Amino acid sequence: MHDIEPFYGWREKYIAAEDDQSSFFGNLSDEFNFTNKVYNYFIHPQWDAFGTDTLYLKILFVDYDDHFAIIEFIGEWNDCINNDIMFLKRNVIDHLVQNDIYKFVLCMDNVLNFHSSDESYYEEWYDDIKDDNGYICCLNVLDHVNQEMVKQNIHYYANFGTHLDDLQWRNLKPKNLIIQIESILSTQIKSLH
């Protein structure tokens, strides 16, 4: 796991550590000392800690004018033991929502497991953004993670599934990714009526 870096293709456009509105403003990553672990496995030092021992993230892009954030994750999402969603909501998401972000894209290619406890923080997050036509989209969720998220009713608050699981998001510019996601969500809504 130590050689899996967060996506760096948009770094010329956005770096959370250089964004004075970011909760990670001023964070310095040591390129040579590996200190963060997911269980017994060191992870690349570019991943940012936000309060949990099993899940790390990197805010890849934020557009304050178009109200969206793209966040990549690595590790095990464990609400049951570590309450990862509480740390994510309180230490990262609340700060973004306060800065008028209400469209969230979660890149979950490297989320290896998901263990839920209850839906309260997901529901709160959804309630924070729904009046602005906001959304939470999870991209490229592994099948067993997807099944666990459905089993725990996370699909009531976040969009994920086959329509978002083969999205080659790294090949797109951030705004084009949002356009593609919103097209998928629009098509999904039309098919329900």
H or E element, residue 139: strand 135-139
pLDDT tens by residue, 95-136: 999 999 999 999 999 999 999 888 999 999 999 999 999 999
Helices (H), 56-138: 84-88, 94-98, 120-129
CATH 3.40.50.300 fits domain 16-192: no
Maximal C-alpha separation, the chain? 53
pLDDT confidence band for 37 (50 / 70 / 90): confident
Q: Where are the domains of the chain?
A: 16-192
Mean pLDDT computed over every residue of the chain: 92
pLDDT confidence band for 1 (50 / 70 / 90): low
CA distances from 81 to 68, 84, 117 (A): 30, 8, 8
Q: Are strands 37-38 and 41-42 parallel, antiparallel or unpaired?
A: antiparallel
pLDDT tens by residue, 129-188: 999 999 999 999 999 999 999 999 999 999 999 889 988 999 999 999 999 999 999 887
By CB neighbour count within 10 A (0-12 exposed, 13-18 middle, 19+ buried), where does 40 fall? exposed
Are 88 and 120 contacting, i.e. CB atoms less than 8 angstroms apart?
Answer: no
